[in-house]
Structure 1
Amino acid sequence: MLSKVFIILILIALIACTSGNKSEENQTVVSLQENIPEQAQALFNGKTLDNWEITNFGTQGPVRVSGGKIVIGMGDGCSGINFTEAFPKVNYEVGLDARKTSGNDFFCGLTFPVNEKFCSLIVGGWGGPVVGLSTIDGIDASENETETLMRFEKDQWYNIRLKVSESKITAWIDDELVVDFDYQNRELGIRPEVSLSRPLGICTWMTTAEIKNIWFREFSE
């Protein structure tokens, strides 16, 4: 009799632990998606790649969802995801949180539309420090006037926000203005390596990154 009672108590304890772990996991997923501005629409549900697909660069590493984050694994070149639904071409903001977990190059290459053109915001490129737009008049972020040098730590989250208006592209990292570019009468473009990221995509270069809290909102000027 004593052994049966003991076994029942163990089973109850195991069930309680399992339920607790599931509850904690669900709370983690929810909390990871809370950093969304008012009147913004979340583009990632924290659980699946719904409305996204793994970009078939041919050089990509594995991509998976884990713990409320999209994990973009290191590949032999670009690895990433692209949005499969309709997305505005101008007068919008888009934001996300990203961190680098391994590798030494850009951990967020955000390709986005600008009217009928496309451009990319590179965060941590050219060996790690470069932030800027690629391309401007055919010139990469490392050589055009949008270049900013920053230090990025591994395993540290960075909040990235981009705004596209009728005349300007503006970007912030952790509320620090890093791009303030008037694109009127300038030629915007993207590097051939990220052409499959259009119209909206996030990629890395030979780097593993984690992405969460992806959102967008439209505005009128």
Structure 2
Amino acid sequence: MKLPGLLLVLLLSLALPACDSPDHAEALAPGWTLFVAPHLERWHEAEMAHSGGFTRETDEFVLKAGSPMTGIVYRHWKADDLPVIDYAISYEARRVQGTDFFGTVTFPVGSVDRCVSFVLGGWGGSQVGISSIDGYDASENPTGSRQTLENDHWYHVRIEVREKSLRVWLDGRPIINTNIAGRQLSMRAGEIDRCMPFGFASFRTEARLRNLRVEKLPVGSRQ
């Protein structure tokens, strides 16, 4: 018996995966969840001056408001053989109170000694971007943009790190796609470098973080 054409098309569409969805790629790729055991105890205070401190609540981290910054750092990146190229980071961040950055993540690009930060909500609460590229921070280089970022909303961030590119999605929307071939990548001057090689920071805000995942991506694709 032949299936009606419409039913056959429906069955085929259910069997095929989405081709260009970051969420679908994340679900299939092997990876590490760093806010749970055995990685949970490897997070430490980034020891910034006048830090507000941090606490762990089940699978969430709470960064209390600092004067100005609070940070946490995962120093075991190299020892745990986590990737430095062809990998993705995904996490959720929420600004509980305050008006500045709340889920800024520092991560390696090619080496644990070569790091940048994705700024989430800096410069008064709405600036996003990569700091720093060719000496210019997120408010000065082409990766920067202004986004509406509200308190008490969980924002989903996904970052893909490639040899020649950095790509960022915010709540599933692409907001950064920049070529880094031949570019100078560095940390912005200041205590943010205490989050190297991998860590999070907030600026005069209380922030919550959850669902952190690092995944290895297929080598050479989406360069």
1:147-181 deviation per Cα after TM superposition (whole angstroms, max 9, x unaligned): 11101111100001111011001111111111101
User: Which residue in the other structure is 1:55 paired with?
Assistant: 46
Structure 1 residue matching 2:70: 3-state secondary structure = strand
Distance 1:218 1:143, change over 3 A: same
User: Which residue in the other structure is 1:74 paired with?
Assistant: 65
**Count of equivalent residues:** 186
Structure 1 unmatched runs, 5+: 1-35
Q: CA deviation at 1:50?
A: 1.4
Q: CA deviation at 1:77?
A: 1.6
For 1:179 and 1:114, the matched residues in 2 are separated by 16
Higher normalized helix content (fraction of residues): 1
Tell me how large the CA RMSD over aligned residues is: 1.7
Distance 1:91 1:43, change over 3 A: same
The letter for the 1-side match of 2:95 is K
Structure 2 unmatched runs, 5+: 1-25
Q: CA deviation at 1:59?
A: 2.6
For 1:64 and 1:47, the matched residues in 2 are separated by 17
Q: CA deviation at 1:109?
A: 1.2
Q: CA deviation at 1:67?
A: 4.4
Asked if 1:84 corresponds to 2:82, the answer is: no
CA contact (8 A) 1:162 1:170 kept: yes
Identity %: 31
For 1:100 and 1:140, the matched residues in 2 are separated by 22
For 1:105 and 1:59, the matched residues in 2 are separated by 17
For 2:165 and 2:93, the matched residues in 1 are separated by 23
With normalisation by structure 1, the TM-score equals 0.80
Q: CA deviation at 1:47?
A: 10
For 1:59 and 1:140, the matched residues in 2 are separated by 23
With normalisation by structure 2, the TM-score equals 0.79
Structure 2 residue matching 1:37: 3-state secondary structure = helix
**Runs of 4+, deviation exceeding 4 Å:** none
After TM superposition, list the pairs within 5 Å mapping 1:1-221 onto structure 2: 37-38=27-28, 39-45=30-36, 49-85=40-76, 86=78, 87-116=82-111, 117-191=114-188, 192-219=190-217, 220-221=219-220
The letter for the 2-side match of 1:218 is K
For 1:195 and 1:57, the matched residues in 2 are separated by 10
Look at both structures and tell me which one has the larger radius of gyration over its CA atoms.
1
1:135-156 deviation per Cα after TM superposition (whole angstroms, max 9, x unaligned): 1111110111111110111110
Q: CA deviation at 1:48?
A: 8.6
Structure 1 residue matching 2:27: 3-state secondary structure = coil
The letter for the 2-side match of 1:44 is F
1:61-96 deviation per Cα after TM superposition (whole angstroms, max 9, x unaligned): 120012431000000022121112223211110111
CA contact (8 A) 2:35 2:59 kept: no
